[in-house]
A = this chain, B = another copy of it.
Amino acid sequence: MSKSPAPVLIAESCCPPLTDARIPADTALALAPAFKALGDPVRLQLMSMIASAPDGEACVCDLTPAFDLTGPTISHHLRTLREAGLVTAERRGTWVYYRAQAGLMRQLAGLLAVDALVS
């Protein structure tokens, strides 16, 4: 657990919207994996279930049965989200709990922000 490759986190100062300035290649390279991780319906749902969980964390034992997929497959998707820096995992006794990383989510949301005026 927690031996993910430590996704290159962008300077914590959050990102100017895509619409405001051209993204530097480095930033694109660092953030694309997070978008990529969200680019699968199963992972998008997993992310949603984790982020919206009552106490901010969800047990794998609750996530797995929600899909028509085998355990290993869900585990694989969770690992992808972990390696993208979107969630963290913590084992407590028998169960493993996943928690969303709000910082990165905010960073992505900030990138996509569009000034309502322009549109």
A52 within 8 A of B: yes
A74 within 8 A of B: no
Partner among B28, B29, B102, B108 whose Cβ is within 8 Å of the Cβ of A48:
B28
A41 within 8 A of B: yes
Partner among B38, B49, B109 whose Cβ is within 8 Å of the Cβ of A35:
B38
Instruction: For the complex formed, measure the closest distance between the CB of A73 and the CB atoms of chain B, giving whole angstroms.
Output: 16
Instruction: For the complex formed, measure the closest distance between the CB of A16 and the CB atoms of chain B, giving whole angstroms.
Output: 9
A25 within 8 A of B: yes
Give A103 to B118 CA distance when docked, in angstroms: 11
Please name the residue on chain B nearest to A25 by beta carbon: B45
- Let me know if B29 and A41 touch, CB within 8 A: yes
Residues in B neighbouring A38, C-beta threshold 8 A:
32, 35-36, 39
Write the residues of chain A forming the contact surface with B, with a CB cutoff of 8 angstroms. Answer: 18-23, 25, 28-29, 31-33, 35-45, 47-49, 51-52, 56, 100, 102-103, 105-106, 108-114, 118-119
